Structure 1
Amino acid sequence: MKAVVGDTVIAEADKDDLISIEGNWYFPPASVKQEFLSKSPTPYTCPWKGECQYFTVDVDGQALQDRAWSYPTPYPTAFDRVGKDFSDYVAFWKEVTVTE
């Protein structure tokens, strides 16, 4: 699967390596091209996943605020709910299209 902005691939991994959580595909950290992400100061804590880290996606001079996020240290109980350790996996939203 791929996460793309326009023609630029910002993440790519086999579907079996991704984790689906609440309708969002989370990419393994090693599959994400970090040069397109910069940490955002936007705070958020999910009641069951834990503290979230948002990212701005920067592609071709276009800064897409908070269009990617991850959970660096999810609550241990979240692993039971998801069935896997999803620490630092990255999900995308809106202008970032995830395709097979």
Structure 2
Amino acid sequence: MKAVFAGTVLAEADESELVQIEGNYYFPPSTVHPAALVESPTPHTSSEKGVRQNYSVIVDGEKHEDLAWTYPEPSPSEIEAVGTDFSGYVAFSPEVEVRS
């Protein structure tokens, strides 16, 4: 599977490595191209999952705000509900195409 924005591959992993939560694919951190993301100051906290770190996507030197996110330390109850530890896994907003 690939996460693609404006023709640029942001992450690539075998589908078996991904975690699907609420219709979003979460990519393991090691499969995300590090130069493609920059931490965003936009705060967000989910009552179920915990504190979410947002990221902006950088393509051709242009920043696209808050198109990705991760839960660095998801709540234990959410890890249990999902069935696997998805700490640090990265998901993308609908503007980013996730395809095989």
Match of 1:73 in 2: 73
Distance 2:5 2:77 in 1: 33
Alpha-carbon offset, residue 6 of structure 1: 2.2
Alpha-carbon offset, residue 56 of structure 1: 0.4
User: How many matched pairs?
Assistant: 100
**SS of equivalent residue, structure 2 residue 79:** helix
Match of 1:30 in 2: 30
Identity of aligned residues (%): 52
Q: Map 1:1-100 onto structure 2 (within 5 A).
A: 1-100=1-100
Distance 2:77 2:94 in 1: 28
**SS of equivalent residue, structure 2 residue 87:** coil
Alpha-carbon offset, residue 60 of structure 1: 1.1
**Which runs of 5 or more structure 1 residues have no equivalent in the other structure?**
none
**Which runs of 5 or more structure 2 residues have no equivalent in the other structure?**
none
Alpha-carbon offset, residue 94 of structure 1: 3.0
**SS of equivalent residue, structure 1 residue 74:** coil
Deviation per CA, 1:49-94, whole angstroms, max 9, x where unpaired?
1000000001013311000000001111111110000000000013
Distance 1:18 1:48 in 2: 20
Runs of 4+ in 1 over 4 A off after TM superposition: none
TM-score, normalised with respect to structure 1 = 0.96
Distance 2:5 2:79 in 1: 30
